[in-house]
Amino acid sequence: MGGLFDFMLPELESPMTGASTDAVMGFIHLVSFILLIGITIALIYFAIKYKRKSEDDETPLITHNNTLEITWSVIPLILVFIVFGWGYKGWLTLQSPPDDAYEIHVSAFKWGWTFGYDTGAQVSNEVHVPAGRPVKLVMQSEDVIHSFYVPDYRIKQDVLPSRYTSVWFQAEEPGESQVFCTEYCGTSHSDMLAKVIVHEPEDFKIWLAKQGSGGGTPIERGENLVGIHGCTSCHSIDGSDKIGPTLKGLFGKEEQLADGATITVDENYIRESILEPKAKIVAGFENQVMTSFEGRVSDEEISDIIEYIKTLE
């Protein structure tokens, strides 16, 4: 059944979670296709057979036909039960990650994804996983409702604030798959993308070891923080204007504010803009959407971010 419907879905990369989805989908398509052909043929056949032949041709009055009515009720009922039972079985599989699943924490925010590993390593907008092993994602949102969707794995799960949700998959081969946010979450919803990168188990261990535990120099830590908190979703580092002003050449710059005042960007201004984004709005960005990072970044982290911004000349 699979081959005929391949054009409808991308190639399945996680058979353990996706095979039953594809099977049910194939079944529904096959049944729909058979019914479409059958009904169309019957329609054409009856239209020709019962065409009005003469002026005094009259349609007989038929009130009902028990055999026919029971048949066309019971057959669809059986089909619906098959689809339900099959789908329910697949849903149960998706709800029960294997006990030995490798766990990764996912934090969703407007507009990006951060993935946290047990080693303390954190990466943004790329989740690296080992091939041939179940991976369980424990997910949480920092702001609004997002949804984690990987078409290649046939998995989709809402990510909520103040509550954990989880989803699992097992990619069999090394490769890359696209992650989408599939719950409308504001201006840059469509840019809220990430990649799943599947490594051979040995290569995964090497990759993870290289990530360290979040250390590094202040500039490296700052660059990492800017990625983790998704700053670059709205503030470019190449001089282009996104939703917010660019970070390139920001430090020491003369900035025109929306209320007409002019300020020179220094440490205190950047710190205030992170903790209280609405305090001083740059002219041209009146429609600003940034929320406060009070409580989300520490003083040390703000210092690291400032050190990093200083390097973006």
When binding is defined by CB under 6 A, the residue of 13, 152, 183, 307 that contacts ligand CUA is 183
Q: Which is nearer to ligand CUA, 135 or 181 (CB)?
A: 181
# residues contacting ligand CUA (CB under 6 A): 8
When binding is defined by CB under 6 A, the residue of 33, 46, 164, 184 that contacts ligand CUA is 184
Q: H-helix or E-strand containing 301? A: helix 299-311
167 binds ligand CUA (CB under 6 A): no
DSSP 8-state class, residue 18: H
Which residues lie below 8 Å from residue 144, measured CB to CB, with a gap of 6+? 110, 161, 185, 186
Q: How many angstroms separate the CA atoms of 68 and 75, rounded?
A: 11
156 binds ligand CUA (CB under 6 A): no
| Binding characters for ligand CUA, 61-100, by CB under 6 A (x = yes) | ----------------------------------------
User: Edge-to-edge, what's the strand order for the sheet holding 165-169?
Assistant: 122-124, 112-116, 102-109, 135-141, 165-169
Dihedral of the alpha carbons of 194, 197, 198, 203, in degrees to the nearest 10: -150
When binding is defined by CB under 6 A, the residue of 107, 116, 117, 146 that contacts ligand CUA is 146
| Binding characters for ligand CUA, 101-130, by CB under 6 A (x = yes) | ----------x-------------------
Region of 31-39, 74-82, 98-106, 179-187 interacting with ligand CUA (CB under 6 A): 179-187
When binding is defined by CB under 6 A, the residue of 29, 105, 189, 310 that contacts ligand CUA is 189
When binding is defined by CB under 6 A, the residue of 25, 192, 196, 231 that contacts ligand CUA is 192
Region of 89-97, 185-193, 230-238, 265-273 interacting with ligand CUA (CB under 6 A): 185-193
Q: Which is nearer to ligand CUA, 12 or 181 (CB)?
A: 181
185 binds ligand CUA (CB under 6 A): yes
Structure tokens at 115: 């993935």
Q: Which is nearer to ligand CUA, 102 or 149 (CB)?
A: 149
131 binds ligand CUA (CB under 6 A): no
143 binds ligand CUA (CB under 6 A): no
Structure tokens at 44: 């054409």
Please give the full DSSP string across 46-110, using - where no structure is assigned.
Answer: HHHHT---STT---------HHHHHHHHHHHHHHHHHHHHHHHHHHHHHH---TTPEEEEEEEET
- Least distance (Å) from ligand CUA to the CB of residue 273? 23
User: Which is it for the CA torsion 67, 68, 72, 75, positive or negative?
Assistant: positive
User: Which is it for the CA torsion 72, 75, 81, 83, positive or negative?
Assistant: negative
Coil/strand/helix, residue 229: coil
> In the complex, which residues of this chain contact ligand CUA (CB under 6 A)?
111, 146, 181, 183-185, 189, 192
